[in-house]
Structure 1
Amino acid sequence: MLNLMQLQPGQLLALRDGRKGEVVENMGDGIWVQVRWLDQEGRPLDGGEDELVHCEEVAGLA
């Protein structure tokens, strides 16, 4: 299991639903991280907004 407390901005996450995102901010509570969604090539999605992701949505590091 991934310890969200140790995530740093810039690290890439894989979500259980197949999406990938870059950590923008770690809230420091071990439950929520703010991510920027990435496309298949690892580039930020155009027009995409940063979003909070819950720990149960995270599959691991991408």
Structure 2
Amino acid sequence: MSDPINIRALMPGTQITLTDGAVAEIVSNPADGVWVFARYLDSPRDPALVGQEEMIFAQDVVAAAPPK
């Protein structure tokens, strides 16, 4: 089991992996511990999401990589 992700600490530019295998980049984080706003970079389930910005629920984030 992986360590929990502190969603409040994720900065814009952080790449996140979601439960469905999608990858997104955080564009804004209200630091409420519930949501982040992110732009999809890859979405195997729905390629039409790529480039779209969406609110992402914290429980859907399974991994995070620091901004480059």
Q: Which residue in the other structure is 1:11 paired with?
A: 14
* Deviations, residues 27-55 of structure 1 (Å, cap 9, x unaligned): 11011000000038xxxx3xx32100001
Unaligned runs of 5+ in 1: none
> Aligned with 1:29: secondary structure?
coil
Q: Taking structure 2 as the reference length, what is the TM-score of the superposition?
A: 0.75
Does residue 17 of structure 2 align to residue 21 of structure 1?
no
Query: How many residues are treated as equivalent by the alignment?
Result: 56
Distance 1:25 1:34 in 2: 5
- Which 4+ stretches in 1 moved above 3 angstroms? none
TM-score, L = length of structure 1:
0.81
Task: Structure 2: state its 5+ residue gaps.
Answer: 44-49
What is the percentage of aligned positions where both structures have the same residue?
38
Could you report, residue by residue, the CA deviation over 1:11-42 in whole angstroms, capped at 9, with x for unpaired residues?
A: 000001000000000011011000000038xx
